[in-house]
Amino acid sequence: MVIGLGPGPARQVTPEASQLLAEATDIIGYGPYVDRVPPSAARRHASDNRVELDRARQALTLAADGARVAVVSGGDPGVFAMAAAVFEAVESGEEAWRELDILVVPGVTAVLAAAARVGAPLGHDFCVLSLSDNLKPWSLIEKRLSAAVAGDFVIAFYNPASKARPEQIGKAFAQLRREAGERVVVLAKAVGRPDEEIVYTSLASVEPGDVDMRTLVLIGSSQTRLIEREEREPWVYTPRRAEG
Amino acid sequence: MVIGLGPGPARQVTPEASQLLAEATDIIGYGPYVDRVPPSAARRHASDNRVELDRARQALTLAADGARVAVVSGGDPGVFAMAAAVFEAVESGEEAWRELDILVVPGVTAVLAAAARVGAPLGHDFCVLSLSDNLKPWSLIEKRLSAAVAGDFVIAFYNPASKARPEQIGKAFAQLRREAGERVVVLAKAVGRPDEEIVYTSLASVEPGDVDMRTLVLIGSSQTRLIEREEREPWVYTPRRAEG
């Protein structure tokens, strides 16, 4: 099983995920996600970040031996998380792994939680990109940013920054400024958690230093706008109606 | 409150959504979604499809009178659902509506459920589009399809067809065939429900007649592939690694 734990709070974990986690014999994942699984009799195999393929092979090996394994991801396991790593491991791995029952259990992914927190910024067509260039060249990210602007999509960035590559988010903002002009930008950090922080800004004003690896970045389409309110946070939304 | 009910099964409704629904005094939504809310003392206001803005104004009027209103959507309320309609109604409506507390409660949206059902097709960057041209011209849809191909995104279609416009999905497939060549296509109908039906096909072979309004259409990037299995459905996945 490859199970999505949702964006953070227990109230956003689906009953399906909770029940399957309770039935697992082994829980495998990045340490902070394993720590979010409620106590149970399962063996726990916490690993470091960036060892997704090793983790997937470990899970498949245990499952082929008869264990009921739950690989856990934050958010949804299919969005920049463990599901693709598991199927990569299957494709390149032992023939017997293709006979396993693999169940992917969806969850609320970060972009949905961030959007809900600020209003309805995804009200129209949108793109979701990882800004990490661990697994793809920066030139492909540039090509996709240009395409997203050409299509006037709302854009969401996962993995927008890390200690190893703090400058990339600034490069992405600069490219978008050149190609799209001005746009609403929302930086949504740790949505639903005690240290949640939301910044309402724009391509002209955004500070790349305000973005860290726990931030979900939303960039509006040409139609995305703020509804201002007295002494309260604005709402951000993208109208459902659009012109050509 | 604007609440996402998830893709269909009760096991995919978050505890947060369930609790807030139980506390609501009024449930408002498209009939089939209102019918999915468990019995409670709340008044129920079911309405027809395509009256989103009327429904949003009704909800805001009741809320301004002190009711605890839950507007319900399938999937996630922010993805081609009621959240944007509610904020549109606020923007164009009474000043007092801006003082309301509006809580958007995220849910598992259809593309995540469909992707999980077949493997990990969203393993890389992706776009989500509505094919409905009720609220945007077809020329904008064409522009976005071209942009999605230029960016080599995985593409998901919501609202791919209806009785009023059965020919549009065929036009979209034809455009993608011209611009992208061959791609994996998955038609995921009624995922998680008794009448679920999954078709694994390709741009060359897909039959537009197999798509209806309950189908989520997934079109792979150039990298999306099948993992074939003996006497079982294949898995579909998009590798996390990509070249420029």
Name the β-bridge partners of B201: B185
Q: How many CA atoms lie within 13 A of A58 on its CB side?
A: 17
Which of A1, A14, A53 should we substitute to test contact with B (largest number of B Cβ atoms within 10 Å)?
A: A14
| B84 touching A (Cβ < 8 Å) | yes
The C-alpha of A5 sits at a distance from chain B's nearest C-alpha, in angstroms, of 11
Instruction: Provide the percentage of residues in chain A whose pLDDT is more than 90.
Output: 90
Work out the pLDDT band at A244, boundaries 50, 70, 90: low
A142 touches A175 (CB < 8 A): yes
**Helix, strand, coil share (%) of chain A residues, nearest 5:** 35, 25, 40
pLDDT, position A50: 78
> Do A130 and B124 count as a contact with CB atoms less than 8 A apart?
yes
Identify which of B91, B104, B143 has the shortest CB distance to residue A227: B91
Question: Tokens representing A68?
Answer: 């009921």
> Do A153 and B127 count as a contact with CB atoms less than 8 A apart?
yes
- Count of other CB atoms within 10 angstroms of residue B194: 6
pLDDT, position B38: 96
pLDDT value at B244 more than 80: no
Q: What is the DSSP letter of A77?
A: T
Q: Which residues of B touch A237 (CB under 8 A)?
A: 83-84, 87-88, 91
Task: State mean pLDDT over A4-22.
Answer: 97
pLDDT, position A240: 92
B74 touches B110 (CB < 8 A): yes
| B137 touching A (Cβ < 8 Å) | yes
With CA atoms as reference, report the closest residue to A238 among B162, B114, B128.
B128
pLDDT value at A180 more than 90: yes
DSSP string across B166-233: TTHHHHHHHHHHHHH-S-EEEEEESTTSTT-EEEEEETTT--GGG--TTEEEEE--TT-EEEEETTEE
Q: Which residues of B touch A244 (CB under 8 A)?
A: 136-137, 139-140, 143
Helix/strand/coil (H/E/C) assignment for every residue in B120-151: ECCCCCEEEEECCCCCCCHHHHHHHHHHHHHC
| A128 touching B (Cβ < 8 Å) | yes
Q: Which residues of B touch A120 (CB under 8 A)?
A: 77-78, 83-84, 86-87, 104
DSSP string across A113-167: HHHHHHEETTSS-EEEEE---SSS-HHHHHHHHHHHHHTT-EEEEES---TT-TT
pTM of the model: 0.97
Q: Which residues of A touch B172 (CB under 8 A)?
A: none
Strands B184-189 and B126-130 turn out to be unpaired
B28 touches B20 (CB < 8 A): no
A106 touches A4 (CB < 8 A): yes
Convert B99-118 to b/e letters by CB count within 10 Å (16 or more is b). eeebebbbbbbbbbbbbbbb
pLDDT value at A133 more than 90: no
Strands A232-237 and A119-120 turn out to be parallel
pLDDT value at B224 more than 70: yes
Q: Which residues of B touch A3 (CB under 8 A)?
A: none
Report d(CA B191, CA B117) in Å as an integer.
7
Interface of A with B in 162-221 (CB under 8 A): none
Query: Which chain A residue has its CA at the smallest distance from B78's CA?
Result: A120
ipTM for the predicted complex comes to 0.97
Work out the pLDDT band at A106, boundaries 50, 70, 90: very high
pLDDT, position B162: 75
pLDDT value at B43 more than 90: yes
pLDDT value at A161 more than 90: no
Task: State mean pLDDT over A120-148.
Answer: 94
Which of A135, A144, A221, A229 should we substitute to test contact with B (largest number of B Cβ atoms within 10 Å)?
A: A144
- Which tens digits make up the pLDDT trace of B191-223? 999 999 999 999 999 999 999 999 999 999 999
Identify which of A106, A135, A144 has the shortest CB distance to residue B116: A106
With CA atoms as reference, report the closest residue to B82 among B100, B111, B106, B101.
B106
- Which tens digits make up the pLDDT trace of B130-166? 998 788 899 999 999 999 999 999 999 999 987 777 7
Q: What is the DSSP letter of A100?
A: S
Question: What are phi and psi for residue B106, nearest 5 degrees?
Answer: -70, 160
